[in-house]
Amino acid sequence: MNRYIDAASVDGEQNEMRQVLHAKLHNGYTTDANVDYVGSIEIDQDLTDAVGLWPGERVLVVSNTSGARLETYIIAGKRGTGVISMNGAAARLIGRGEQIIVMGFEFSAKPVKPKVVLLDERNRIVEWLDGEHNDRAPASDEAVRQAPAKKSTNP
């Protein structure tokens, strides 16, 4: 798969489009996992609005708890509830109570400064990050391997 898309010529120069991170909800927690629901991830619309994600937008979801990764699309959840619900088959990969990251990407011919927020255990925004950076990364891979993992509480 080619990671670049040729774009129209601008000022006589050919531009290459790349898929880059534009939005990230970092360290949220799934409030539900419903296998019987028809697909997708439901997210509190206050959270999606904060980082510029749209209902229907394709997102990458990563579980910090299990390491599972999946792509799905967003359904707008009720504002102010903190809901982040995995639905359909995705609920078999990421269960209720798992810590997750939700990322949206866009095509761009130039670098994009993503909108990134840190969430607390109730999915409230506790910090706006100035783009994507790694200031809070553990000092080594060993620190990551020794960090306790939260157990999934699949329904």
29 annotated active-site? no
Residue 84 lies in a domain: yes
What pLDDT is attached to residue 110?
A: 96
Residue 3 lies in a domain: no
Residue 118 lies in a domain: no
Residue 4 lies in a domain: no
Catalytic residue from among 9, 29, 73, 85 = 73
40 annotated active-site? yes
Write down the pTM of the prediction. Answer: 0.80
Catalytic residue from among 40, 66, 108, 140 = 40
Share of the chain above pLDDT 70, in %: 75
Asked if residue 6 has pLDDT above 90, the reply is: no
Domain extent at residue 62: 19-101
Residue 78 lies in a domain: yes
Count of CB atoms within 10 A of residue 80's CB? 11
What pLDDT is attached to residue 15?
A: 76
Residue 106 lies in a domain: no
In the structure, what pLDDT confidence band is assigned to residue 130 with cuts at 50, 70 and 90? confident
Residue 112 lies in a domain: no
CATH code for the domain of 83: 2.40.40.20
Query: pLDDT digits over 9-61, tens only?
Result: 555 566 799 999 999 999 999 999 999 998 799 999 999 999 999 999 999 99
Query: pLDDT digits over 107-126, tens only?
Result: 999 999 999 999 999 999 99
